Amino acid sequence: MKFRMKEAPEHVSKVLERELSKELKDLLDFYRIKKTWAELVGMASNKSKPIQIQGRKLQVIAASPLIAQEINMRSGQIISRALSLGINIDSISVYVGNVLDKDEMSHSSTVPRLKPLSEEDIAQEVERAKERFKGKNLSDDMIERLSRLYVVYNKRFNSFS
C-alpha cells in the first residue's frame, strides 16, 4: 500500500514557526537580530546593541544621544533590512545607556588595585610616621596605633607625604 500525502511537504522551519509560541518566536527573532546587528545597523553597531523584542517592537540601547539619533533616523532602513531577513518588527525604540555587558566590564579596569606593602616597608613607614606624632603628649601605644593608621590611610589613598 502506498502512502499518499494530502498536502505538499513543508520546510521544517515553516512547521516550527507555525507551532512555536509567540515568546519563543520573539526569542528566535531577537537572536537573529543580535547575530546580524552589524549588518543591519552598520558603523553604529559598535556603539549600540539590541536589548529585546516586545511584540513587534525592537528595543535598542545606544552609547550616546548621537548614536541613538542615528538609529532613530535610520529605523525605516533597519526595519526593511530586518524584514528581508524574515524578522518581523514594526518599530524601534532607542535608549541611551551603557552598551557594555557586565562580563565585558572588567572590574580590574574600573578599580585600581594596590600592591600590598611588605612587612619591612610597613615597619619603615610606621617609624617615619611616629615622628609626626611625637611631642603631642600621647602614650607610646597611641603613637604606634596612630602611625599604623596613618600608613594604611596614606597607602590606600596614595597620598604619602
List the chain domain ranges.
12-100, 119-157
Average pLDDT over residues 108-128: 74
Q: What is the pLDDT of residues 130-146, one digit of tens each?
A: 888 888 888 989 989 99
As given in the structure block, the three cell numbers for residue 58 are 525592537
Pairing verdict, β 48-54 and 57-62: antiparallel
Q: Is 80 helix (H, G, I), strand (E, B) or coil?
A: helix
Average pLDDT over residues 42-67: 91
Calculate Rg over the CA atoms of the chain.
31
| Of 124, 111, 103, 53, the residue nearest 82 (C-alpha) | 53
pLDDT classification of 161: cutoffs 50, 70, 90: very low
- The DSSP H or E segment spanning 145 is helix 140-157
How many CB atoms are closer than 10 A to CB 20?
Answer: 13
Superfamily assignment of 12-100 in CATH? DnaA, N-terminal domain (3.30.300.180)
Q: Is 120 helix (H, G, I), strand (E, B) or coil?
A: helix
pTM over 0.85: no
